[in-house]
A and B are shown apart, each in its own frame.
Chain A
Amino acid sequence: MSSYLDILSVLLLLSSFVLMANKRIKSHIRTFRFQSAMIALAAGILGVNSLIHEGRVDLLVVCAVIIAIKVIYIPRLLHRVYANVEYKVEKDFFLNIPILILGCCMIVVFTYFALSKTDGINTGTENMRVVNSVSLILIGLFFMISRKKAIGQIVGFLVIENGIFVTAMFATQGMPFIVDMGMFVDLLSAVMILGIMVFKINEKFDSIDINKLKNLRG
């Protein structure tokens, strides 16, 4: 089982690299969908494992919720938002792609360095997984910084959330059920609000470039 999880964690990290390399918003959403599916799979594997050994079903429920929300609902919502705002070809990032990818690599190295002495998670394979998932969080943040358009921000935010979720799942083999559910509710409402905000920004500035929000400063 643990080898599947290792592969999944690497795939997750890789997906975040892919995300960083994407230029188009549609492919951002697609990559996010792929990443969420990976997480659902990981949750499913852990869920089956805990069902067999301890008879718990909560992780399977979590898996189902992830599929429902992150794989199906949110990507759709984002597509719809994107379709409704006026399409403009604009340069979406500050730095060019290779530098961004290099930055991501450095984040992974840094995370490895930062976590290498932490007690409890640097034993065996678990170490690698946690490093990967913490890197995922930081890369999500980095992604938000690198993108100008509002939908990019939402995706980055979602990646951060994914990273946090995966870190928690790998480190604790499944958090208390109520915590997971709470996170999903949070996430859902956040994404919905952000979606509305995108409309508003578009309406106000004729663009979804959040750099224009600077003008709001008093």
Chain B
Amino acid sequence: MLEAFHNSGGQGTLFWVSIILYAAAAIFSLALMKNPKVCTLVSNGLCILASVFGIATSIIDIAIEKIHTDLYVFQSAIPYLSVDIRLDRLSSFFLLCLSVLVLCVSIYAIGYVSHYFGKRNVGVLHFLYAAFILSMIFVMTSGNAVFFFVAWEAMALLSYFLVIYESEKEENVNAGRLYIIMTHIGTAFLLIAFMIMFSYTRSFDMFGSSAAIPAFAKNIMFVLFLLGFGTKAGVVPVHIWLPYAHPAAPSHVSALMSGIMIKTAVYGLLRFVFSYLGVQNTWWGVAILVLGIVSALMGVAYAFVEKNIKRLLAYSSIENIGIIFIGLGIAFIAKAQGNSLVCGLALAASLFHCLNHTLFKGSLFLGAGSVHFASGTKNMEELGGLIKRMPVTAVLFLCGALSISAIVPFNGFISEWLTYQSLFANILPGHALINILTILSVAVLAMAGALAAASFIKLFGISFLGLPRSERASNAVEVPGVMNVGMGILVTLCLAVGLFPMAVLQMLDRVLTGFAGISILPQLKNGWLTAFSPLSISGNAVSPAVIAGVFAGVILAALVLIRIIGGKRRERKVGTWDCGFESLNARTQYSATGFSKPVKIALKILFRPSRVVKTEGDLVYHPESIQYLVGIEPIFERYLYDPISKLARSISHKIKYSVQTGSIHAYLIYILLTVLILMFYNRIA
């Protein structure tokens, strides 16, 4: 460990301090298990401290000139079993996202975890939480594929345990099982890719050269990486675990999982494909782009019809990963065609969206946690009217919703704007297929944007506005202040990044120069109002801060003018207009299901909605009771996964009777034959 301090600069020391603090948080949370209150305070306190060090580490590392720093190198006698921890600017960028999120989530957790006191073992939760963060840090900083793989596995396992933390609920256990199966299928692809990598280069060094790998093997590796990392990212069609696993975990963990864990897949794609393999073929980018388009559209479509708050957020994560993948796809296409300007722009868009999604999805999951904390339900149909009962949470949630809907002056708009700009710049005469794909991406992005806004209008409008739809909702009270502080920091950051995007873009420029050798700053000009607000790319400029100013000015002018013309505001409060029937109540409000119905019918190709009406009683027009069931058809489960699992089941059934006979002698014969064949192979090879 001492050499480690010696080898690195200042940020190395900070890095190790934060690692030690996280480890301490993990250990203390186990040691103090008996006293949940102290345990929560100590463990989260240490995590907060650690994340501050993490932020410092990454900012220093991005700021200094050195492109990458070895933090710890342990070379064992066996060549590929080495532990190699490095920090370069790309790692630092993701580390920064992680640390910022951990800071806020840990503050939030101090309040949030209190509802587990006396019900579940909180110490274990904090231990898993801290260990999960550690594993993600090592995924981001590892320089050796084997070590990366170990950290990746640890991340998957720890998050699995967090998903099934509330294991008394059957749905959580099922969600966990689906998650662990899917994530291991993804990991299997990665393992094969690493083996191919080793078999050609005789090295697991992620920063090494891939020159020894022939082109066809690179193509295979790309597909494997795409499938492997895509599964973790939750791109359609390997997304099915995400909408179940993310909502099952405790909310602050969901924030981490959606906010940063799925981004490790983006990191992996950039690290292994973009930087290690090098982009060879245009079709790589096209494949990523197509996945991105499909995910963005499907994700948001399913989010819109969902009525569980956390599941809606999880589907929206799929959409956002889709947007990130659209940026990545453009970057890969541009790189393959040697168009480094567009490549840099698209990478910046994609990384910027990673950061933004971390901020706003983090805050929204925390908000969903607050709603669950206060009302005990995640079902929108049981909520309503929370804005009067939880005013602070409501404001923060609204800001998060505005951010994710890409509305100025919040941050979501900036990255979406960059994505649009890179799509715009990618349309060049001569590449018919790519152009058509790009314009389709524009259409999809537009539709996804509108549907995302609608989803969050529905989420906010149904759960926070109107009348409470159940006892639980009407009894809800504002959550502890510390939870709102955690959420508030994230929302403030959303607004700050949205108003002053140049600050982040200058950081991204350093990341990109270090990682891809492309500088985007020459394309970004500073304007006249403040150095940090307007951004412009080849003359296309926006200035969110100015727009915010215009908003404020117009609102002020409207207030003043109306005051002058109409005098003081006179307001009468009466009931909502009920057409004269005087029977308006919570049940006559629009429901979440009803809200999404028009879209469900308009896009019935996708949803295949079903409707069953069951009536009881003899009279056709005056039945005793009516049961009305609506549903949508889960396309992927039914047409992709069900056939696969059926096939697997029938094959294993056959194997049970022909190969796995249960006879020891048969097994011994298998062993003998294997040995003989191996010996034979060894002889003739």
Contact = CB atoms under 8 A, between A and B. Distances in A.
Contacts of A18: none
Contacts of B660: 217
B662 A213 contact: yes
Q: Kindly name the residue among A114, A116, A213, A214 whose own CB sees the greatest number of chain B CB atoms within 10 A.
A: A114
A177 interface: no
B683 interface: yes
Contact of B663 (A111, A141, A213): A213
Contact of B676 (A110, A145, A148, A215): A110
A216 B662 contact: yes
B562 interface: no
Interface in A88-123: 94, 110-111, 113-118
B662 A141 contact: no
B654 to A, nearest CB: 14
Contacts of B669: 145
B contact face: mostly helix, strand, loop, or mixed: helix
Contacts of B550: none
B672 A145 contact: yes
A116 B668 contact: no
Interface string B664-685: 1100110110011001101100
A210 B675 contact: no
Interface in A141-169: 141-142, 144-145, 148, 153
Given A115-B679, A144-B665, A214-B662, 19 more contacts: A94-B665, A110-B679, A110-B680, A114-B680, A115-B683, A116-B683, A118-B682, A118-B683, A141-B672, A141-B675, A144-B668, A145-B669, A153-B664, A211-B664, A211-B665, A213-B664, A215-B662, A217-B656, A217-B662
Contacts of A114: 679-680, 682-683
B205 to A, nearest CB: 31
Nearest to A211: B663
Nearest to A217: B662
Range of interface residues on chain B?
10 to 19
A94 B668 CA distance: 14
A74 interface: no
Given A213-B663, A217-B662, A141 B682 contact: no
A113 B668 contact: no
A192 B528 CA distance: 86
A117 B663 contact: no
Contacts of B530: none
A138 interface: yes
Contacts of B661: 214, 217
A116 B680 CA distance: 11
Contact of A145 (B665, B679, B680, B682): B665
Contacts of A210: 664-665
Interface of A: 94, 110-111, 113-118, 138, 141-142, 144-145, 148, 153, 210-211, 213-217
B672 A138 contact: yes
12 contacts: A94-B665, A110-B679, A115-B683, A116-B683, A118-B682, A138-B676, A141-B672, A141-B675, A144-B665, A145-B668, A148-B665, A211-B663
A113 to B, nearest CB: 6
Contact of B683 (A117, A142, A145): A117
A14 B109 CA distance: 73
A142 B668 CA distance: 8
Interface of B: 656, 660-665, 668-669, 671-672, 675-676, 679-680, 682-683
A123 to B, nearest CB: 17
Contacts of B672: 138, 141-142, 145
B675 A138 contact: yes
Contacts of B683: 113-118
Q: Kindly name the residue among B662, B663, B665 whose own CB sees the greatest number of chain A CB atoms within 10 A.
A: B665
A116 B660 CA distance: 35
B582 to A, nearest CB: 65
Nearest to A110: B676
Nearest to B656: A217
B663 A214 contact: yes
A210 B662 CA distance: 10
B661 to A, nearest CB: 7
Contact of B679 (A111, A216, A217): A111
Nearest to A117: B683
A202 to B, nearest CB: 15
A106 to B, nearest CB: 10
A116 B665 CA distance: 30
A214 B680 CA distance: 31
A2 B37 CA distance: 75
Nearest to B683: A114
A153 B671 CA distance: 14
Contacts of A213: 662-664
Nearest to B662: A217
Contacts of A116: 683
Contacts of B682: 114, 118
Contacts of B662: 213-217
Contacts of A117: 683
Pick the 6 closest A-B CB pairs, nearest first: A217-B662, A114-B679, A214-B662, A145-B668, A114-B683, A141-B672
Nearest to A218: B656
A218 to B, nearest CB: 8
Contacts of A145: 665, 668-669, 672
Nearest to A153: B664
Contacts of A94: 665
Contacts of A153: 664
Contacts of B668: 141, 144-145
Contacts of A113: 683
A139 B162 CA distance: 50
A141 B679 contact: no
A210 B125 CA distance: 47
B142 to A, nearest CB: 34
A213 B680 CA distance: 32
Contacts of A138: 672, 675-676
Contacts of A115: 679, 683
A60 to B, nearest CB: 32
B668 to A, nearest CB: 5
Contacts of A214: 661-663
B472 to A, nearest CB: 45
A94 B666 CA distance: 12
A104 to B, nearest CB: 12
B579 to A, nearest CB: 65
Nearest to B669: A145
